[in-house]
Structure 1
Amino acid sequence: MTTNMGKFDRGGRLAIAAALLVLALGTSVLGAGILFWLALIVAGVFTLTAFVSNCPLYSIIGLKTCKAC
């Protein structure tokens, strides 16, 4: 698996994932319905892709946000 995400992109994804987790688990804004589960899934995907530095969607469209790859 090749790296296609830069540090700024990875940090942004982790920040968005943290915000989604706070909304889903820390407040009652999203309730317990589909938005709750969607927020958890998106947060999980963003966290996973940030840690492995590879976004499958970026690979499909040919986008790279890292300078050294």
Structure 2
Amino acid sequence: MKKNMGNSDRVFRIIVAAILVGLYFSEVLTGTIGIIALVVAGIFALTSLVSFCPLYTLFGIKTKAKT
């Protein structure tokens, strides 16, 4: 699995995940929407930790700088 995410993309995903988790636990997002937000936050956190996004592979996107 080749890394295809750059640092700015990873930071952005972590920030969005933290916001979604915060909105869920502050009860702004509840019910089904809250659960979906937690799942999306988990996916964002996981993909940013491993620097790989499967959807980027499908669409041929790479945000990682070439070295």
TM-score using structure 2 length: 0.95
Q: Return the alpha-carbon distance in structure 1 between the equivalents of residues 10 and 50 of structure 2.
A: 9
Task: Tell me, yes or no, if structure 1 residue 36 matches structure 2 residue 34.
Answer: yes
Match of 1:16 in 2: 16
* Residue 64 (1) aligns with residue 62 (2): yes
Alignment of 1:47-58 (within 5 A): 47-58=45-56
Length-normalised TM-score, structure 1:
0.92
Question: Which 5+ residue runs of structure 1 have no aligned equivalent?
Answer: none
Distance 2:15 2:59 in 1: 24
CA distance in 2, matches of 1:41, 1:18: 12
Percent identity at matched positions? 46
Structure 2 unaligned runs (5+)?
A: none
Q: Distance in 2 between matches of 1:39 and 1:19?
A: 10
Deviation at 1:68, TM superposition (A): 2.4
CA distance in 1, matches of 2:27, 2:8: 30
Aligned residues: 67
Deviation of 1:57 after TM superposition, in Å, equals: 0.4
